[in-house]
Amino acid sequence: MPNDISSRKVEIETQEFAGNGYGSEEEINERQRRERALVRRLDYFIAPVLMALNLISYLDRGNIGFAATQGMTRDIHLKENQLNTAVSIFYIFYILAEFPTSVLVKRLRFDRVIPTITLCWGKETSLSLDFSLAEYSRMRVASIGNDVNNSPRPCFVQSFGSLVATRILLGFFEGCLFPSITLCLCNWYKRDELGLRIALLFIASALAGAFGGLLAWAVFHLDGISNMAGWRWLYILEGLITVVWAGLCTVLLPQNYETAYFLDDEQKALMKKRAEEMDAYGGGSGHYTKKDIKEAAKDVKSWLHALIQINIVTVLYGFSTFLPIIIKDGFQFSTIQAQYLVIPVNIWGSMVYAIGAILSDRYSARFLPLVVCAPFGIAGYTILLCDVPSEIRYFATYLIAIPCFLCTGGNMDSADPNKYRRSYSGPDIPSGAGPAFTLGHAWSLGSLSIAFIGWWIMWTIYTRRQASKDKILTEGAIYADASFTDRSPNFKYQIDKNCII
């Protein structure tokens, strides 16, 4: 599927090569055929590995919502807003880890960093299992002749403090992941191929919600096995899945195209040519300098993209984390119903994103899907703030799922993750006190509205800047600055039918 959509991009690119004297029509057609075959190989061997990593990441960070519906708050004696605090503190350290990772990961090597951080958060997620089995064995040795079979197994997470400690570690390690996998994609794919691959990452995150609901429904029936609560088994199983995948990543992720086990010599030569073209297009070596950082900091576009991203991920993380709790406590469904009712909502969100990403890539439109889908989410949160039956409120979650994943990935794609100017995730906003969750719904409504307005401002900035560049080129003015950035007259913003990309 990705290669069929990318073919149109390749055709446009090769036409530009021909127009600039890069070869005959036969050579251009041959280059197009080889490039399509190469991208297909990348889609088979690189994209699925990174998709699985993002799915597991969202699965591990969001399981706290499912655990809360299965009695975690009662078992570890959480009070008032302590659950919200534990959820929110994750994103503080998530943010702190993103920036240095973005700067250093390419130098430290993707094939080393990604498996290492995956192993670290997998071990942290399953920490309760390690502590439980070791301590339980000690108790059995120390209590020979006594009945300890019916005693609850001791685990690390026994209080608010230990829960916060695990969330801090989880936030730091997972914060290193997303910039690593997005920049890893930039290392393999060209700029015009990235849109759909970033979409695949967010489709995986949506599917994580569905898979998490299915897994939570399954472990609900493990409650009491080995004298442990079902929600503890949820953490144990998800942690083990993460550790196993971390081991596989050491084999599946090559250092670079030169060591890629799935490419032959001809394809490696083509990858080298693509890398040279990407460096020439980007105007640099791919490593970020202080000048790049200062340039990004001075561009209002960077800050506006960041503001939009903070607001839209507030909606995404709040919705995906607290959805099981909202369905159970807000809509008055049972625990088991809350586990499986999240599944179709997340599947719907992933389907919408998949369709939107395909159409967006096919028609080179990034702006239109954002401003079309956001009003559905605004309507959904408005419904949740009204006094209506639970069935209608549950329907509203489907409206919210429409922009939830699509707008988050779409904004990142329009910001161009191959450049340093990228947005960073903001902390999750607590969903407020149940069962109405008025504060959380109102905050998310406001955040989505701010993002909606921000996209229109971004469209205005892009169109005005491009008009200014066109005027400079038309008048034949000489641009003195030797550096090549998106402000250079020869850097063309792709604007198609009033839609920015």
pLDDT for 463 beyond 70: yes
Residue 122: what pLDDT?
87
Between 31 and 251, name the one with better pLDDT. 251
- HEC string of 350-414? HHHHHHHHHHHHHCCCCHHHHHHHHHHHHHHHHHHCCCCCHHHHHHHHHHHHHHHHHHHHHHHHH
Residue 118: what pLDDT?
93
Domain region containing 273: 46-279
Q: Work out the pLDDT band at 409, boundaries 50, 70, 90.
A: confident
Most confident of the ranges 28-32, 341-345, 433-437: 341-345
Q: Do residues 174 and 61 lie in contact, with contact meaning Cβ atoms separated by under 8 Å?
A: yes
Same domain flag for 343 and 417: yes
CA dist 396 and 404 (Å) reads 12
Q: Do residues 466 and 500 lie in contact, with contact meaning Cβ atoms separated by under 8 Å?
A: no
Residue 455: what pLDDT?
92
Same domain flag for 227 and 314: no
Question: Within a domain: residue 209?
Answer: yes
The residues near 400 (Cβ < 8 Å, ≥ 6 apart) are: 315, 319, 376, 377, 380, 381, 384, 444
**Pairing status of strand 495-496 against strand 499-500:** antiparallel
Task: Give the residue-averaged pLDDT of 185-214.
Answer: 86
pLDDT for 142 beyond 80: no
Same domain flag for 224 and 341: no
Q: Work out the pLDDT band at 416, boundaries 50, 70, 90.
A: low
Task: Give the residue-averaged pLDDT of 129-153.
Answer: 45
Between 155-159, 168-172, 286-290, 313-317, the lowest mean confidence (pLDDT) is in: 286-290
Residue 309: what pLDDT?
87
Same domain flag for 202 and 339: no
- Nearest-CA neighbor of 387 among 325, 435, 333? 435
Domain C-terminal end among 279, 303, 334: 279
Q: Do residues 210 and 323 lie in contact, with contact meaning Cβ atoms separated by under 8 Å?
A: no
Same domain flag for 242 and 136: yes
CATH number at residue 120: 1.20.1250.20
Question: Within a domain: residue 123?
Answer: yes
Same domain flag for 370 and 253: no
pLDDT for 96 beyond 70: yes
Same domain flag for 101 and 75: yes
- Nearest-CA neighbor of 400 among 441, 361, 369? 441
Q: Do residues 127 and 239 lie in contact, with contact meaning Cβ atoms separated by under 8 Å?
A: yes
pLDDT for 20 beyond 80: no
DSSP state of 257: G
CA dist 342 and 243 (Å) reads 26
Q: Work out the pLDDT band at 223, boundaries 50, 70, 90.
A: confident
Question: Within a domain: residue 15?
Answer: no
Residue 478: what pLDDT?
61
Task: Give the residue-averaged pLDDT of 160-180.
Answer: 90
Same domain flag for 190 and 93: yes
Same domain flag for 231 and 85: yes
Same domain flag for 270 and 298: no
Question: Within a domain: residue 70?
Answer: yes
Phi-psi region of 80 (alpha: psi -120 to 50; beta: other; left: phi over 0): left
CA dist 474 and 470 (Å) reads 6
Q: Do residues 241 and 53 lie in contact, with contact meaning Cβ atoms separated by under 8 Å?
A: no
Task: Give the residue-averaged pLDDT of 244-254.
Answer: 94
- Partners of 344 in the β-ladder: none
- Nearest-CA neighbor of 171 among 101, 98, 116? 98
Phi-psi region of 283 (alpha: psi -120 to 50; beta: other; left: phi over 0): left
Task: Give the residue-averaged pLDDT of 114-138.
Answer: 68
Q: Do residues 230 and 215 lie in contact, with contact meaning Cβ atoms separated by under 8 Å?
A: no
Between 143-157, 182-196, 266-280, the lowest mean confidence (pLDDT) is in: 143-157
Same domain flag for 153 and 261: yes
Question: Within a domain: residue 13?
Answer: no
For the chain, what is the domain count? 2
Backbone angles phi, psi at 299, to 5 degrees: -90, 120
Question: Within a domain: residue 259?
Answer: yes
CA dist 127 and 166 (Å) reads 8
Q: Work out the pLDDT band at 329, boundaries 50, 70, 90.
A: confident
Most confident of the ranges 140-154, 220-234, 378-392: 378-392
pLDDT for 32 beyond 70: yes
Domain C-terminal end among 279, 311, 343: 279
Question: Within a domain: residue 2?
Answer: no
Question: Within a domain: residue 28?
Answer: no
Q: Give the rounded percent of residues in the chain with a pLDDT score beyond 70.
A: 78
pLDDT for 134 beyond 60: no
Q: Work out the pLDDT band at 437, boundaries 50, 70, 90.
A: confident
Most confident of the ranges 83-87, 271-275, 368-372, 373-377: 373-377
Phi-psi region of 206 (alpha: psi -120 to 50; beta: other; left: phi over 0): alpha
Residue 288: what pLDDT?
59
Task: Give the residue-averaged pLDDT of 147-166.
Answer: 68
Alpha helices in 20-81 (DSSP H): 25-45, 47-69, 72-75
Residue 132: what pLDDT?
44
pLDDT for 99 beyond 90: no
Same domain flag for 307 and 436: yes
Domain C-terminal end among 279, 306, 329: 279
Between 40-44, 254-258, 465-469, the lowest mean confidence (pLDDT) is in: 465-469
pTM given for the model: 0.77
CA 363, distance to chain mean position in Å, is: 23
Residue 346: what pLDDT?
92
CA dihedral 302→52→214→332, nearest 10 degrees, is -10
Q: What is the pLDDT of residues 356-388, one digit of tens each?
A: 888 887 777 778 889 999 999 999 999 999 989
Between 24 and 114, name the one with better pLDDT. 114
The residues near 339 (Cβ < 8 Å, ≥ 6 apart) are: 66, 69, 213, 216, 217, 220, 324
